[in-house]
């Protein structure tokens, strides 16, 4: 009996400790989840919460602008590693589009790749929640609200999802924008999307879209536009002010100027491919004083130039940058832009220095 009691006591002690250990792990996991949630921001007036910095998936599978006109297994593995590294570091907001990596010249659709990466990650870690944003291409032959729903369902099929967190109009249509906005509203009401946004919309178009959706009780969550330290058109054309006034989040694409603000390129070593026509040796020469100061500020915080320029955007408030990550190393570096802040004087100083540089080329549809 004494032996039995002892055995029972030991068994009970181990069982209690296992329960305590499991409870501690659950508490730690819950605490970590709460911490991650606190790092998120609401997207406009919607209920969707996303990380303060997202990842753009324009380059994934693309052969027209990125990847030197080629896509292979090495680049696929690098993109997958970039996705995993982002999630590992708490960045769980990913932006893609139906036209990224369109299937010609050996391209693979970016939506297809993102959907595959999510599924592979879920098999390893079922607790991971990823927020997916994609976009509708306002092509001239697409008419009316049904075209939006049809395109969205095709995107969902490629992504392997039943709904997406954010669905955006990629650019204003030459005509038929009211029908496209009605299609966004229909998508919300049918439960196919959690929130809706636009991209490359001027201040006037943004206000019109906001009012049209508001009549149906649907908030316009975001406007995705080009915005960086050396491309501050949203500050000058009223888009940033309209976003702030209406409570619409500005999602900033090309936030590191397609690599030009990272310090990677020099007048002697400009980027290759289509970017070489934008960031010429002449442009890079004019950038050097700004890049030198960015580097000095970064050293004072033990941060890289990339992290400084991303933090500069976050410091503007109501801005979520979405730099493109093609490698795990890039994704890891981007995460270092979070958790600290430039001083107001540094923010103003960098803007002043950048104002001496002529703005880079805009996306033509911004002027529609």
Active-site annotation, residues = 100
- In the block, which residue shows the tokens 């990380």? 51
Residues 6+ apart with CB under 8 A from 239: 201, 202, 203, 206, 223, 225, 233, 250
Beta bridge partners of 220: 196
Question: What Cα–Cα distance (Å) separates residue 146 from each residue in 33, 151, 168, 212?
Answer: 38, 9, 15, 17
d(CA 285, CA 190): 52
Please answer whether residues 43 and 249 qualify as being in contact, where contact means their C-beta atoms are separated by less than 8 angstroms: yes
Q: Which residues contact 351 (CB under 8 A, 6 or more apart)?
A: 229, 232
**What are the tokens at 305?**
């130039």
| Type and span of the H or E element at 29 | helix 2-38
Q: Return the number of other C-beta atoms located less than 10 Å from residue 158's C-beta.
A: 18
Specify the residue for token string 């939006």: 148
Burial of residue 103 (CB within 10 Å: 0-12, 13-18, 19+) is: exposed
Asked if residues 259 and 327 have their Cβ atoms less than 8 Å apart, the reply is no
Q: How many Å apart are CA 270 and CA 277, to the nearest integer? A: 10
Strand-pair partners of 50: 41
Closest CA to 248 of 208, 188, 308, 193: 208
On whether the CB atoms of residues 96 and 57 are closer than 8 A, the answer is yes
Radius of gyration of the chain, Cα coordinates, nearest whole angstrom: 23
DSSP state of 241: H
């Amino acid at each position: 009996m004494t032996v039995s009691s002892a055995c029972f006591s030991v068994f009970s002690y181990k069982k209690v400790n296992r329960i305590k250990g499991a409870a501690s792990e659950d508490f730690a996991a819950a605490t970590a989840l709460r911490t991650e949630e606190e790092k998120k921001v609401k997207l406009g007036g919607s209920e969707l919460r996303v990380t303060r910095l997202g990842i753009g998936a324009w380059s994934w599978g693309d052969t027209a602008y990125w990847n030197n006109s080629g896509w292979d297994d090495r680049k696929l593995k690098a993109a997958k590693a970039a996705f995993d590294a982002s999630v590992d570091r708490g960045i769980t907001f990913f932006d893609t589009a139906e036209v990224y990596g369109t299937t010609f010249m050996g391209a693979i659709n970016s939506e297809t790749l993102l959907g595959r990466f999510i599924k592979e990650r879920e098999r390893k870690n079922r607790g991971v929640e990823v927020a997916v944003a994609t976009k509708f291409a306002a092509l001239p032959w697409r008419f009316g609200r049904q075209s939006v729903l049809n395109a969205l369902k095709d995107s969902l099929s490629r992504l392997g999802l039943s709904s997406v967190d954010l669905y955006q109009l990629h650019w204003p249509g030459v005509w038929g924008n009211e029908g496209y906005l009605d299609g966004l509203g229909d998508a919300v009401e049918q439960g196919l999307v959690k929130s809706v946004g636009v991209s490359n919309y001027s201040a006037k178009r943004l206000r019109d879209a906001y009012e049209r959706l508001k009549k149906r009780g649907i908030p316009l969550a975001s406007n995705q536009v080009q915005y960086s330290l050396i491309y501050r058109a949203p500050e000058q054309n009223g888009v940033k002010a309209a976003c702030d006034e209406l409570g619409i989040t500005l999602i900033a694409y090309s936030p590191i100027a397609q690599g030009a603000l990272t310090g990677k390129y020099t007048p002697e070593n400009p980027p290759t491919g289509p970017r070489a026509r934008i960031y010429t040796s002449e442009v890079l020469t004019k950038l050097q004083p700004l890049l030198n100061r960015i580097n000095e500020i970064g050293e004072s915080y033990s941060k890289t130039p990339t992290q400084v320029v991303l933090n500069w955007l976050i410091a503007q408030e109501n801005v979520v940058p979405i730099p493109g990550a093609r490698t795990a190393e890039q994704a890891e570096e981007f995460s270092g832009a979070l958790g600290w802040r430039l001083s107001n004087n540094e923010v103003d100083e960098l803007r002043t220095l950048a104002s001496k540089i002529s703005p880079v080329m805009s996306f033509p549809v911004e002027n529609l």
